[in-house]
Amino acid sequence: MERLDSHRILVTGSASGIGRATTLRLLAEGARVVATDVAEEGLAETAELARKAGAAERLRTAVLDVSDETAVNTVVADAIAGLGGLDALVNVAGMLRGAHTHECSLELWNRIIAVNLTGTFLVTRAALPALLEGGHGVVVNFSSTSAQFAHPFMAAYSASKGGILSFTHSIAQEYGKQGLRAVNINPGSISSGITENIFSLVPEDTDWNLFTKLSPVLGEGYGSPDTVAGVVAMVVSEDGAFITGTEIRIDGGTHQ
C-alpha cells in the first residue's frame, strides 16, 4: 500500500515546476488528484507524464485562474464532487514580477496580490467545508523565503507571500480543534519556471550584487522541484500528522 492510498487531493499551479512535481509525486504515492492551472498546455503535459507513469486514471485536470472567484468556486466544487470529498489542498499557483518599488504600478501590485494571496484565500475558502468534513484535512500553502528574508525588486511578491504566511497560521489556529492542519512551504533556490526566467522578470538594470547571499550551500546549484514535492507528500500524509501552524523552509541552506 502506498502512503497516500485513498487520499483525495486538489493541487493548484500544476502545469510546471514545483506544482507539476508535486502532482506527480502525490500520484506516485497513490493519491487521487485534481490538478489545476491557468496554463492549459502545461496541464496537458503534466497529464501526459502521469499517463507515462501509469497514474492517468487517478488524475483529473481543470483550467483555473485562482484569482477568479466564480471560477474557483465552480472548479473546487467540481473537484470535490468528482473525488467524493477532499483530504488535502496544496496551493502552489503563483506569479512573480519584479520592479523597482518606486516604479511598481498599482496594476502590477494588485495583480500579484490577486494571484498569490487572494488566490490562495479563494481556493482555501472554497475547499474548507470539505476538508473539515473528514476531520483530518490538510492545507499546504506555498509562501516563500522572500516572506522572511530580503529579496530586492520583489516588494509586491514578498508582501503577497508574507500574507500567505500569516493566513496559514490563522487557519491553523482557527480550525485546529476540528482536525485541520495548515502548513507553509517556503521554497528558495529551487529550479522552476520563475527562477529559470528570473532575468526577464526583474528590471533590466537590476543590481545582481544584491543577490550574492541568495545561493544554496548544498549541491552545485539550485535544487530540483522534486525535493519540494517529497516534503509536500510527507506533510499531507500521516507522517506529518503532528505538523501544523508552521513553516518548512526548503532552500539548500541559502538563508542561514
**Separation CA 156–CA 194 (nearest Å):** 15
pLDDT (tens digit per residue) in 213-249: 666 756 667 789 999 999 999 999 999 999 999 999 9
Please indicate, yes or no, if residue 199 is contained in any of the structural domains: yes
C-alpha cell at 188: 528558495
C-alpha cell at 89: 489542498
For residue 128, give the nearest of 91, 166, 153 by alpha carbon. Answer: 91
Please indicate, yes or no, if residue 93 is contained in any of the structural domains: yes
Please indicate, yes or no, if residue 236 is contained in any of the structural domains: yes
Please indicate, yes or no, if residue 253 is contained in any of the structural domains: no
pLDDT (tens digit per residue) in 146-201: 888 877 888 999 999 999 999 999 999 999 999 999 999 999 888 776 655 555 56
157 given a catalytic annotation: yes
Which SS3 state, helix, strand or coil, does residue 50 take?
Answer: helix
Which SS3 state, helix, strand or coil, does residue 138 take?
Answer: strand
Indicate which CATH number applies to the domain containing 117: 3.40.50.720
pLDDT (tens digit per residue) in 53-103: 999 999 999 999 999 999 999 999 999 999 999 999 999 999 999 899 999
Choosing from 157, 167, 175, 222, the catalytic residue is 157
pLDDT in the model for residue 45: 98
Please indicate, yes or no, if residue 255 is contained in any of the structural domains: no
> Bigger pLDDT: 150 or 127?
127
Please indicate, yes or no, if residue 120 is contained in any of the structural domains: yes
The DSSP H or E segment spanning 243 is none
Count of domains observed in the chain: 1
Number of other residues whose CB lies within 10 A of the CB of residue 41: 9
Please indicate, yes or no, if residue 256 is contained in any of the structural domains: no
Please indicate, yes or no, if residue 214 is contained in any of the structural domains: yes
Domain span at 170: 8-246
For residue 47, give the nearest of 57, 75, 233 by alpha carbon. Answer: 57
